[in-house]
Every structure is written in C-alpha cells, then in structure tokens.
C-alpha cells in the first residue's frame, strides 16, 4: 500500500489515505463505513493494533461501495507523516560517497537529528532567509518509517519494526552546519525535511538495500546511486538506534545520501530562489519541491 496524507482543497481537514493510481481511499472515511475506527494521522495508524489488516479492509470496502473514494486531482498531498516524535539521520552511509570524499569507512553509524518541525510535504516550498544562510544544499535519502515501538531490538528482528519507506530530502544549510561545530541548526530550518510522496509499506519493497536513488536540480541529474552502496543496512541502523533510545511509531530514519551533493561539486552547486529539486527512489516515486527566499 501507498499511504499518504491528504487534504481536500479548502477543507482544512487532513486524513491518511491509500493511493491507487489516480484514486485515493480515505482510510478514516472508508473505515467508518466498514465499522473500523481508523485515525486521521499516519503515526497513530502505524501504532495501532493490526493496522495493515484494517487498512486493507477499508480499501476493500471503498472498492465495493465507493465510500471514501477521492480523485487525486481534488486533493492536496501533505507530508505522509506529519508529526514524528523523532527525525534520526545518519551521516556517512554510502561507500561511493565515502570514496568520493576520501573518507575512511566508519566503524559505526554517526547519528544526528533534524527537528520534527522541519518536516514538510511533497510540492511544498523549501524556504530560507538568505541573510541567515547562503549555502543551501540537497541530499536524496531513503527514509525508513518506524511502525512499532523499538527498544533494544536485534538486527534479525529490526525490520519487523519498520512500517514502510518514503523518500526524504535532507536539506542542509552548509554554512551553518559547518560553522556551528555541530549540525542541528543547519539541518533543522523550517521546511528543511521534505518527505513523501507516500509511505510504501515494507511488504511492497522487496529489498530496501537494492534501490536506485537520485536527485535532480531543475531537471539535471546530480546524484545517481543505489542503496546497495549502504555501509550500514536498515536492520543495523534500527537496531543501533534502538539500543540508545526508544523508537516510536512515525519516527523517521533518514539513511544517508550518496555522492553528488552540491557543496562537494566542482564548482559547488547551491540551491537558490525558484529552483526545483526532485529526489527519487526506485519503487517509491519522486518528491519534488521548489525553493524560495523567506525574507
Ligand atoms: Zn543526510
């Protein structure tokens, strides 16, 4: 299933839905018809008992009765997870990226964080004050979305705690990131964590460690790699995190970026007003955002 969050234009209400082609099933809407209480929020959905089965039943009911069906054209897409408790990110995690930068392969994952308030959705504007930062960069990433509370889980069982996968752009203000001595400010500007377009449930992603991943700026491909270059797999990352802190449903795990980010290019490529940046992962679709100054 492809689970996103949507709003009917002008309604002010949002809900989680399953997209099937150009049609979206409202899970709370179809669920209510089928006698199933399904929350509006995806993090809450993933935390619920037997959520996959409930969602499947709501979709079946919608297909049989027409209840809760919407045309994608009538909807605005929102970030598929709106309010993660945590946004955990991994630094160097692609072998080809390490080789490009002449970095040694790390022995253990280097974690950092983005504030959850940085999360925004597909089609949303990435905004910043040009007086605050002049070096804004993109990072295409595969994002694992946690589906069950995970505390001290083994690598063998770690994938059972992943609800699905989405695409993320780890937008980074390089001057703040590198000037501050630590990264949280440069990584956490409002709108600097676009995710989407949907969470593709884990059962539909055969091998998350063998997916093409790319970034394009105004149509030019600048990152082009595969998650087969991961240094640490999703199972290792989830287990590693869970031994330090409890992961909860809706938490986002950004799994690092391949070579080709703007700041390390010759000459450097930086995002500017009016730019369109698209990041994509095989099987998950593409996530496009435009850039604007917020001054
Ligand atoms: Zn990153």
Confidence of residue 8 (pLDDT cuts 50, 70, 90): very high
Average pLDDT over residues 264-269: 93
The residue among 32, 47, 78 that closes a domain is 78
Ligand 1 centre to CA of 109 (Å) is 12
pLDDT surpasses 80 at 269 = yes
The mean of the pLDDT values for the chain is 96
pLDDT given for residue 99 in this prediction = 84
Selection from 213, 206, 203 nearest residue 256 by Cα: 213
The reply to whether 66 and 96 lie within a common domain is: no
Give the mean model confidence (pLDDT) for residues 64-72: 97
Rounded to the nearest whole angstrom, what is the distance from the C-alpha of residue 193 to the centroid of ligand 1? 10
Q: Do residue 128 and residue 51 come from a single domain?
A: no
122 shares a domain with 247:
yes
153's tokens? 């889980």
- Ligand 1 centroid from CA 88, angstroms: 10
Q: From 76, 239, 262, 81, select the one nearest 160 (Cα to Cα).
A: 239
pLDDT over 90 at 17, yes or no: yes
Stretch 240-262: mean pLDDT: 97
Average pLDDT over residues 1-7: 98
Report how far ligand 1's centroid is from the alpha carbon of 225 (Å): 14
pLDDT band per the 50, 70, 90 thresholds, residue 47: very high
Burial class (CB in 10 A: 0-12, 13-18, 19+), 225: buried
Q: Tell me the pLDDT tens digit for each residue of 101-123.
A: 788 999 999 999 999 999 999 99
- Is there a single domain that holds both residue 54 and residue 180? no
Residue 97: pLDDT above 90? Answer: no
Domain containing 11 equals 2-78
- What is the CA(90)–ligand 1 centre distance, in A? 6
pLDDT of residue 261: 94
Q: What is the CATH number of the domain that holds 47?
A: 2.30.30.230
Q: Are residues 24 and 128 in the same domain?
A: no
Q: Clarify whether residues 168 and 193 are in a common domain.
A: yes
% the chain with pLDDT above 70: 100
* 3-state SS track over the chain: CEEEEEEECCCCCEEEEEEECCEEEEHHHHHHHCCCCCCCCHHHHHHCCCHHHHHHHHHHHHHHHCCCEEEHHHEEEECCCCCCCCEEEECCCEHHHHHHHCCCCCCCCCEEEECHHHEECCCCEEEECCCCCCCEECCEEEEEEECCCECCCCHHHHHHHEEEEEEEECCEEHHHHHHCCCCHHHHCCCCCEEEEEEEEEHHHCCCCCCCEEEEEECCEEEEEEEHHHECCCHHHHHHHHHCCCCECCCCEEECCCCCCCHHHCCCCCCCCCCCEEEEEECCCEEEEEEEEECC
Whether residues 161 and 272 share a domain: the answer is yes
- Total structural domains in the chain? 2
- Å from CA of 256 to ligand 1 middle: 5
Tokens 């150009």 — which residue?
A: 22
Alpha carbon distance 94, 293 (integer Å): 31
Q: Write out the two tokens for 212.
A: 């093409």
Question: In this predicted model, what pLDDT tens digit does every residue of 123-140 receive, in sequence order?
Answer: 999 999 999 999 999 999
**Mean pLDDT, residues 219-238:** 98
Terminal Cα distance for the chain, rounded: 40
Cα(92) to centroid(ligand 1), Å: 8
Q: Report the distance separating Cα 258 and Cα 95, nearest Å.
A: 8
Residue that finishes a domain, picked among 31, 52, 78: 78
Query: From ligand 1's centre to the CA of 138, what distance in Å?
Result: 9
Alpha carbon of 78 to ligand 1 centroid (Å): 21
122, 25: one domain: no
Q: How many Å lie between the centroid of ligand 1 and the Cα of residue 107?
A: 18
- 207 and 68 share one domain: no
pLDDT at 252 over 90: yes
Same domain, yes or no: 142 and 63: no
Ligand 1: distance of its center to the CA of 206 in Å? 23
User: 37 and 56 share a domain?
Assistant: yes
Last residue of a domain, one of 35, 57, 78: 78
Predicted local confidence at residue 144, as pLDDT: 98
Planar angle of CA 288, 120, 171, nearest 5 degrees: 70
* Ligand 1 centroid – CA 104 distance (Å): 17
User: With bands split at pLDDT 50, 70 and 90, how would you rate the model's confidence at 98?
Assistant: confident
Q: Residue range 149-175: average pLDDT?
A: 98
List pLDDT tens digits, range 69-78: 999 999 999 9
Q: Are residues 67 and 174 in the same domain?
A: no
Q: Please, which residues have CB within 8 angstroms of residue 102's CB and are 6 or more apart in sequence?
A: none
- φ and ψ at residue 98, rounded to 5 degrees: -65, -45
Predicted confidence band of residue 100 (pLDDT cuts 50, 70, 90): confident
pLDDT at 295: 75
**Six token digits for residue 77:** 């897409």
Query: How far, in Å, from the CA of 7 to the mean position of ligand 1?
Result: 29
């Amino acid at each position: 299933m492809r689970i996103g969050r949507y709003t009917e234009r002008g309604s002010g209400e949002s809900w989680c839905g399953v997209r099937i082609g150009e049609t979206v099933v409202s899970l709370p809407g179809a669920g209510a018809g089928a006698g199933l209480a399904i929350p509006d929020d995806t993090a809450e959905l993933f935390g619920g008992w037997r959520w996959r089965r409930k969602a499947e039943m709501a979709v079946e009911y919608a297909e049989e009765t027409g209840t809760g069906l919407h045309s994608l054209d009538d909807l605005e897409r929102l970030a598929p997870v709106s309010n993660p408790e945590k946004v955990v990110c991994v630094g160097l995690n692609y072998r080809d990226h390490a080789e490009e930068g002449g970095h040694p392969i790390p022995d253990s994952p280097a974690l950092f964080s983005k504030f959850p308030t940085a999360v925004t959705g597909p089609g949303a504007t990435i905004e910043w004050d040009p007086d605050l930062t002049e070096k804004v960069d993109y990072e295409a990433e595969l994002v694992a979305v946690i589906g069950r509370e995970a505390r001290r889980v083994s690598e063998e069982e770690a994938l059972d705690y992943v609800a699905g996968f989405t695409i993320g752009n780890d937008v980074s203000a390089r001057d703040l990131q590198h000037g501050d001595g630590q990264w949280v400010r440069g990584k956490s500007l409002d709108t600097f964590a676009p995710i989407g377009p949907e969470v593709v449930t884990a059962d539909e992603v055969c091998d998350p460690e063998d997916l093409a991943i790319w970034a394009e700026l105004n149509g030019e491909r600048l990152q082009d790699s595969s998650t087969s270059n991961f240094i640490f797999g999703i199972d290792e990352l989830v287990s590693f995190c869970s031994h330090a802190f409890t992961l909860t449903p809706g938490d986002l795990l950004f799994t690092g970026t391949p070579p080709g980010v703007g700041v390390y290019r010759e000459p450097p490529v930086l995002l500017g007003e009016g730019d369109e940046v698209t990041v994509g992962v095989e099987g998950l679709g593409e996530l496009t955002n435009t850039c604007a100054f917020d001054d």
